[in-house]
Amino acid sequence: MNDIATVRPEAEIIAAAKRVLPGGTFGNLPAEVVLKDGKGGRVRDEAGREYIDFLLGSGPMFIGHAHPAVTAAVQEQVPLGTTFFANNRHGVALAEAIVDAVPCAEQLRFVCSGTEADLYAMRAARAFRRRDKILKFEGGYHGMSDYALMSLAPKRPGNFPRATPDSAGIPKSVQDEMVISAFNDVAMTESLIKEYKDELAGVIVEPFQRLLPPKPGFLQALRRITAEHGIPLIFDEVVTGFRFAYGGAQEYYGVTPDLCTMGKIIGGGYALAAVAGRADIMAHFDRAAVGDEDFLMQIGTLSGNPVAAVAGLATLEVLRQPGAYERVFKTGRTLMDALAKLIKDYKVKAQVVGEPPLFDILFTDEPAKDYRDTLKADKDMAARFNQLLRAKGIMKGETKYYVSLAHDQADIDRTIAIWREAFAELTA
């Protein structure tokens, strides 16, 4: 059956998904959400309903869906070959562009997903330090590897620094290789690094953890503490890379790590991610440079493939245009300010958290500085609010509004109107 040429009713697609997919989904949104196409800052589902899109494919569509420059680049490349399992000029050019843009990046290695990038960054730190343990922060998301799924979202957080597995199928021994600290807690983190300094291979952190900005001085302190003990600092910039600034969160917050990971935006909507950093650490990917014992093996069938590379290059070219980031931040600030005003007008116990390119509402009026603070938020209220938004024409995930360069004034106005309608129903 040629699926491309087959028109199927939405209900039939949903039924088929529930038959052939565990839970009826790809593991992301509910089975009932079946998207058909997207253009700019909007998407449509299989029933023809249009949504203002703040999901953006979970972030990569930063310049909007089906951007003409990206589409043209991909259409030009596809007839020439989609992957070669070898260097290609487009992948090399994209690597050059990223190294030029990102402060910590002296060299990089391409992979296909953020999960891979974070896994290899931790492995590179282990190879470099010849140590095993990694310190991460409770609530921090670093992909789907066994190590990353330690204390990502524990429902009953335990005592620091003991790790809690967040998935079935993870060997119990992995718990012993992860040290857990609290985001934004300098004293705890410094104490743990000093305690485990002879066992730590590295420290991995989202410089902007999910929705929580770093407290002033936190990232600077983390940089100082890790440098004092010669422990590589890894910034997970899969989300923030090229989103908060052209040089990522490390440029935006003014702190340079030893390694970083990137994904989403650098592939322009195609499967591409990267681990980048100091040349002496990245040398472990080169057998000739470090020898057999210290060599870090990394092979990927689609790593650096030319289709994703040309999409990434076209995306970065758009982001280099004057005023691009100013527009995104203006859109985000306008939306955040309007949402905060509606919270006040409707007397809802809630707050807006995040930065203009990436934010959401937490249904609590208590300050939120770390993961445990977010557990105080009313999740049932958030779920009801999100359901209302989707019914009225806003597409987003459970958390996060991803703001794009393509969102225009009509999208802003309609979003605010939908928020107002949703709050009226929520508080009725």
247-258 pLDDT per residue, tens: 999 999 999 999
Are the C-beta atoms of 204 and 135 separated by less than 8 Å?
yes
Q: Is 335 part of a structural domain of the chain?
A: no
Q: What is the mean pLDDT of residues 364-383?
A: 95
Determine the pLDDT at residue 156.
85
Q: Is 98 part of a structural domain of the chain?
A: yes
Pick the catalytic residue: 141, 253, 270, 402?
Answer: 141
Q: For 266, what's the count of Cα atoms within 13 Å in the CB-facing half-sphere?
A: 40
Structure tokens at 142: 């670093």
Total domain count, the chain = 1
Assign 4 a pLDDT band (cuts: 50, 70, 90).
Answer: low
pLDDT, the chain, mean: 96
Residue 54: partners with Cβ closer than 8 Å, 6 or more residues away: 394, 395, 396, 400, 401, 402, 403, 415
Are the C-beta atoms of 142 and 320 separated by less than 8 Å?
no
Q: Identify whether 141 is a catalytic site residue.
A: yes
Other CB atoms within a 10 A radius of the CB of residue 2 amount to: 5
Pick the catalytic residue: 53, 118, 185, 236?
Answer: 236
Strand ranges across the sheet with 358-362: 351-355, 358-362, 401-402
Q: Identify whether 270 is a catalytic site residue.
A: no
Which domain covers residue 212, as residue numbers?
Answer: 68-319
| Nearest CA among 296, 259, 375, 318 for reference residue 73 | 318
Q: Identify whether 413 is a catalytic site residue.
A: no
pLDDT of 375 strictly over 70: yes
pLDDT of 143 strictly over 90: yes
Q: State the pairing for strand pair 35-39/351-355.
A: unpaired
Q: For 428, what's the count of Cα atoms within 13 Å in the CB-facing half-sphere?
A: 9
Strand ranges across the sheet with 394-395: 35-39, 42-45, 50-53, 394-395
Q: What is the mean pLDDT of residues 362-367?
A: 95
Q: Is 275 part of a structural domain of the chain?
A: yes
Pick the catalytic residue: 120, 147, 253, 264?
Answer: 264
Q: Is 353 part of a structural domain of the chain?
A: no
Of all residues in the chain, the percent with pLDDT exceeding 70 is 99
Q: Is 228 part of a structural domain of the chain?
A: yes
Q: What is the mean pLDDT of residues 262-282?
A: 98
Q: Is 169 part of a structural domain of the chain?
A: yes
Q: Is 363 part of a structural domain of the chain?
A: no
- Amino acid code (one letter) for 173: S
Assign 1 a pLDDT band (cuts: 50, 70, 90).
Answer: very low
CATH of the domain at 143: 3.40.640.10
For residues 401 and 396, give the distance between their C-alpha atoms in angstroms, rounded to a whole number.
6
pLDDT tens for 145-187 read: 999 999 999 988 889 999 999 999 999 999 999 999 999 999 9
Q: Is 381 part of a structural domain of the chain?
A: no
Q: What is the mean pLDDT of residues 307-324?
A: 98
Percentages helix, strand, coil for the chain (3-state, rounded to 5) are 40, 15, 40
